[in-house]
A and B are shown apart, each in its own frame.
Chain A
């Protein structure tokens, strides 16, 4: 199929929309409410085009037809875009300095390009309320441009916490009082106007940095996304620079959570082997995603017994840091908004001490680095601190959907058969498909596994057929997490994930149980069952209404 855009011919496929064909060929059309994860909302009315002989249409929702002739710029289109932009700004209270979009804001760019007066109308949302959802998410309704992406995404996640209610002549985005938010933060990453953001801990962290022994640890998924906060290409790996930046901010030590991911793998592997041998409470579900855990506790309590009792990696390393360092404050840098909630779970306290004191998202640490005028791209690379230095490949891939599964299977195979997997690249569990499955022969047993990313995919999923299931609330896993730099779409998720797999490929040690630091941890700290239980395991079910 062929269409003409601005008198040039382009190939396209049936079912495609004009916007996608244009963008693919470098033709810019402003589209603010369009997110490729969702059906077009048709809300902002900026991606207008003219179809010759038919009139004005929105390119996000107009499917190509053979021979179609499209114009993307004209006096009329410009006027329409200008007016709709003015109307959008009339309902959006600008707080650009603190906004998640900051210099990447598409609305602001368009305001400049179209030379509009953003204050042409009075702000009709002045005084609109700000809502906080748990310790994780803030919704400032005065910044909302009513595109309803957040509601669509919340529904897609199978949660439906956000909804529309009519008040004073307008339909507004509100939270459903009968439901609970699971804090996945996908509303944030799908909001074009910065109305959703994380509950910030920057001030608290700045405060402790001045006077305490602050130790930063960062999640596996951060290394391939933090660069985007400073304009680097998607998927840039910047582990060493990140360590330097964190030191410049005042961290005494910097650790990599990939290391404790290996401990999670070993503990979880052990639990899986036990459950397989007893055929009890199968399938076993992973539990390192706190939104998934919360979803189970709130909406699917019948699955609680299927969750592994193993703590998520940063909670395990937090516990180890608290044991081994001198009166430390532990700050986790996470791709995640839900981790802010996770650290408030009382079951995770160790003798009254929180394993992790603060969680900062990738975006927050980006903001802190920018605020301190650190030129990230120009930084030298630094090594991670000991005793928990260099991670294995298995720990790094935790950041992508399927990574926990792949790491666990590498280790479980070795533990059950005494042999190393022939090919440790388990490609079947990788990728962005919402539901993936694989079968792997371990000794005499065929182990059936499934990987779910995007919480909504668990709805109606026939989990009973499987032995082991990884669930990550965010599409693509942590690389697409609610705390990650925006924008996020499948192309970006793919690049971030690829970078993690490339790191894994190049590592000498690619299996959790071969990690010498892990061996050291078990020898020096986790050397009896009681302490292993305290640091590495937890319980569920008491957090329904928190």
Chain B
């Protein structure tokens, strides 16, 4: 069985948060026409509360590199890049991979913004279509996968994949850390298994760090999603306004300011939350515009944590 067949059989989905079929992405790049092709390993991990890629790089770098090499061979790539969070250090041999340290903030993790940055431009998302699989780095077909995805590609190739994923668990927990557990395990079981299920009244934020969804204990019977982060908050001791302020500041300072709803909207959310003077009608308008008229997926995802928090906790 060649690697593509193995990927198909494994049903591996991207672990950066988008959950796109890995086999399909590889096939698209393979079929795309271009003088050169590139592989990029996205190791930018810019969301607070998500730290599993760092864990994988620290502990399993050879497997990640092996996964990248498999991709290079498969699509016959000219070069492979590791687009690395500027605070991360790679300990070990990266072989022929070109390590590119991300200079920008949170937005730099968006795949087209990452490509812009590697090309030496400002990290700002591109219009899609065309997708990276057709027009990516230096206008060539480009395969971009997350660190964890490449790790599992290697595992799949070796026949060692047991349908697991990595979960970043933190917040008001006793055993903060990264855990490798089955992909279909429910959030509450994950918390129990890792000795983290709270014995106090709590809520969780699940998915992609600050842009993750707020979930109540009774909603945790489903598997985790997105980038696999689970953050626990003690309901009694958590100041939800301080929490929202933290998110809002993160979005306002970390976004790229390209489009009006995200540039101005994120700022106005921050302003209202910081001043503890929230006009819910205005907030609702801004959320509506972020979801419907932001340029990229990151802008569209900003309302989720706020809306779910306000609805479920406030």
Contact = CB atoms under 8 A, between A and B. Distances in A.
Interface of A: 40-45, 48, 55-56, 58, 61, 76, 79-80, 83-84, 87-88, 90-91, 120-121, 124, 145-146, 148, 164, 169-171
A90 B286 CA distance: 13
B293 A61 contact: no
Given A42-B295, A43-B259, A80-B289, A90 B253 contact: no
Contacts of B253: 169
Nearest to A89: B264
A45 B268 contact: no
A186 B292 CA distance: 33
Contacts, number: 71
Given A76-B292, A171-B256, A83 B127 contact: no
B264 A90 contact: yes
A535 B1 CA distance: 84
B246 interface: no
Contact of B258 (A43, A87, A145): A43
B2 interface: no
A84 B261 contact: yes
A171 B123 CA distance: 11
A61 B127 contact: yes
A61 B293 CA distance: 13
B241 interface: no
B257 to A, nearest CB: 4
A80 B257 contact: no
B292 A80 contact: yes
Contact of B268 (A43, A61, A90, A145): A90
A146 B263 contact: yes
B288 A83 contact: yes
A84 B259 CA distance: 10
Given A56-B292, A171-B257, 5 more contacts: A43-B259, A55-B292, A80-B288, A124-B264, A146-B263
A43 B256 contact: no
Interface string B247-283: 0010011001111110111011000000000000010
Given A88-B264, A90-B268, A164-B122, A42 B293 contact: no
B93 interface: no
Contacts of B5: none
Contacts of B122: 164
Contacts of B256: 171
B285 interface: yes
A383 B249 CA distance: 65
A170 B293 contact: no
B293 A45 contact: yes
Contact of A43 (B252, B260, B289): B260
A42 B267 contact: no
Interface string B293-306: 11100000000000
A171 B113 CA distance: 15
Contacts of A148: 258
A90 B267 CA distance: 11
Nearest to A172: B257
Interface string B23-45: 00000000000000000000000
Contacts of A58: 293
A44 B258 CA distance: 9
A44 B260 contact: yes
